[in-house]
Amino acid sequence: MTDPVKNAIYSPYGAYELKAKYQRNFMFGTLITAGVFMSILLTIWIISAVGEEDIADGPVHIIKTIAELGPPPTITKKPPQVKVDQPNVAAPKVGIPTPVADDEVLDDDVTLATRDEMAEIVAPEISMGDEGDIVVDIEDDDFLPGMDDFVPVEDAATVVHKETPAYPRLAQQAGIEGNVWIKMLVMKDGAVSKAVVYKSSGTESLDLAAVSAAYKCRFKPAIQNGRPVAMWVAIQWKFEL
């Protein structure tokens, strides 16, 4: 008689069933795992393909510096334009300005004389000449040219006598030399009316000596329209030991 306990322990039923089904279960598990793995690969490939197409369609701009980023949108955005009506102002009643010649335009630095100053001006005396010509008696000082004024002349003033200045004693003892330019107003008679230092030598005593000598010079006056006129002349004095 067979022992039931022994037959229950060593019965081959359970192990046989597992051995008979594990090949099928292993195949199903392998197929499912392969399917899941292929699904993951396919999904990654589709996402990559769609992303590359979107990037390839648009222009590619490589930013190298911060300055190429540009201002933020809030700054570049212009505020809305507000329409403002023009004020209803009447046009001025002044007519169109009339062009004038350049010599009739007043300079900005011109000072107009007052009424009192105009009243002090004395009109020149007008008389009749021997041949019936009108003679206007105007003093010569009113027509003296300025130091920088241009005087058109036919013959310029020329030196007849150039005074030699006395060499200052202190400058001579100190061994000081120099050149002095003096501008002189030569009158109609050839005498020097004014003398000023035009270009200094750098030594006051030499300049003063040259000015003193300038007043003692004599000139042949300048000629304008056949008559002598006053004009400024520049002469150089050299102080050399």
139-to-78, 123, 136, 142, 199 alpha-carbon distances in Å: 74, 11, 10, 6, 31
Rounded to whole angstroms, how far apart are CA atoms 171 and 178?
Answer: 10
pTM greater than 0.75 (yes/no): no
pLDDT at 99: 76
Is residue 143 classed as helix, strand or coil in its secondary structure?
helix
φ, ψ of residue 159 to 5 degrees: the values are -75, 130
Rounded to whole angstroms, how far apart are CA atoms 113 and 68?
Answer: 66
Rounded to whole angstroms, how far apart are CA atoms 235 and 183?
Answer: 7
What fold, for 145-239?
TolA/TonB C-terminal domain (3.30.2420)
- Which tops the pLDDT comparison, 95 or 179? 179
Rounded to whole angstroms, how far apart are CA atoms 197 and 210?
Answer: 8
E strand or H helix at 198, and its extent?
strand 192-199
Q: Scanning the structure block, which residue is given the tokens 């009739």?
A: 104
> What ranges do the domains of the chain cover?
4-50, 145-239
For 182-213, the pLDDT digits (tens) are: 999 999 888 999 999 989 888 899 999 999 99
Contact 170, 205 (CB under 8 A): yes
Rounded to whole angstroms, how far apart are CA atoms 3 and 87?
Answer: 125
- Is the pLDDT at 88 greater than 80? The verdict is no
- Is the pLDDT at 233 greater than 80? The verdict is yes
